[in-house]
Amino acid sequence: MGTELDTRCAEVREKFQVNRAIAVIAIAQLFGTSLWFSANAAMHDLQTSWHLTASDIGWLTNSVQAGFIVGTLISAFTGIADRLPTSKVFALCGLLGALLNALFALCSSGFASAVVFRFGVGVALAGIYPLGMKLLVTWAPGRAAQTLAWLVAMLTLGTASVHAIRGVFDHVSWHLVVLTSSVLAIAGALMVWFLGEGPFARRAVAKANLGGLSSVFRIPAFRAAAFGYFGHMWELYAFWTLVPILVAQALGRVATASTREVALWSFAVIAIGAAGCVLGGAFSHRFGSARAAFIALLVSGSLCLLYPFVAGKVPLYVQLALLLVWGLAVVADSPQFSALSVRACPPEQVGGALTMQNSFGFLLSACSIFTATSAYHALGSWISLVLLPGPIFGLFAMSPLLSKRPHW
């Protein structure tokens, strides 16, 4: 009787420890990824102070994407993602990103210097987002779909948080808004530093190389998940970049619309994606990650097609509701694609494979951001059709996974 009770107590303690670690990593991810769109939260101020266009804002966002791509390639091809302690790399990158973000706020003299600092922030984020996913897997590998859903939910809230800060403190200098995200990133870095590695951490014994990492693309299930993710990424970050513009366009029909309202609605449209991630994780637990990802990508792709035909032609509340549904679906598939990739990938290559997948995905997102922001003034609401090829490609690419076992 005593032995059975001791075993039960040990199981409860272990479960509590794992759940606590998941919560710490998720919150740290929220804080760290608040760096990502800190410049976009200051969009109105920067447009006024530096006379920036929508295309210039796209370049500021893309400088982060470019830095992220460079950082992930360095991480993947040097083996950092699999050879060094994940928690320490995450924490150091969080501190570096916070510093560079603060320099962007305090030392930028104009558009050119801002691009340099934002590029550095992107390099640092390469050690936060993909390694946050790997760190979660070291704590709960059997719950990848659900735990990654929470992680991407925190990424989504982190992305949206700067819009909330801008909306609540609409009279505060944009410098303070940006510096707030640096403070959050420092807090997230310290949380992960003291948490450490999970019990299922594995280190690669050899230096990663291009041939070894590219071999995972010869695994059909990994290839289908990765290509589905690439289609999703063509849409996701371009949509998030366009959200303040689309919201401002919708609210522009109301004479009383203010910068504060644009910021708060932008927060709502992006942040609701966190709920989409959690709902997708719950759905995947019963029906599988492949089906959850397929449905989310189908919904967001349908809205890419539908939106130009309703924008400005339906009541404002309907248009805003469609943006909210779009925001809910557009990121819900992201953790499921990552979970599918984790399942298909050899355990000792998870860090490098996820980092490389992220790198290629963000390269596509940089292309779509540049295309969408450059063409917005010419296309207006029809810009959503530029995002549509991503979901179409992703749906076809991932379709072989739908025939796999239910847990996929």
Specify the CATH number for the domain of residue 140. 1.20.1250.20
Q: What is the pTM of this model?
A: 0.79
Q: Which of 143-152, 207-216, 333-342 has the lowest mean pLDDT?
A: 207-216
Nearest to 408 by CA among 342, 329, 355, 358: 342
What pLDDT was estimated at residue 371? Answer: 92
Residue 223 is assigned to a structural domain of this protein: yes
What pLDDT was estimated at residue 6? Answer: 64
Residue 204 is assigned to a structural domain of this protein: no
Q: Which of 112-121, 250-259, 282-291 has the lowest mean pLDDT?
A: 250-259
Of 79-93, 146-160, 280-294, 296-310, the range with the highest mean pLDDT is 296-310
Residue 160 is assigned to a structural domain of this protein: yes
Number of H helices, E strands in the chain: 19, 0
Host domain of residue 283: 2-196+216-403
Using the predicted structure, report yes or no on whether residue 82 has a pLDDT greater than 80: no
Q: What is the DSSP letter of 382?
A: G
Residue 201 is assigned to a structural domain of this protein: no
Q: Please report how many Cα atoms fall inside a 13 Å half-sphere around the Cα of residue 222, on the Cβ side.
A: 19
End-to-end C-alpha distance for the chain, whole angstroms: 39
Residue 370 is assigned to a structural domain of this protein: yes
Is the separation of the CB atoms in 257 and 375 below 8 Å?
Answer: no
Residue 237 is assigned to a structural domain of this protein: yes
Mean pLDDT in residue range 6-32? 83
Phi, psi of 172 (to 5 degrees): -80, 145
Total domains in the chain come to 1
Using the predicted structure, report yes or no on whether residue 206 has a pLDDT greater than 50: no
Residue 202 is assigned to a structural domain of this protein: no
Residue 374 is assigned to a structural domain of this protein: yes
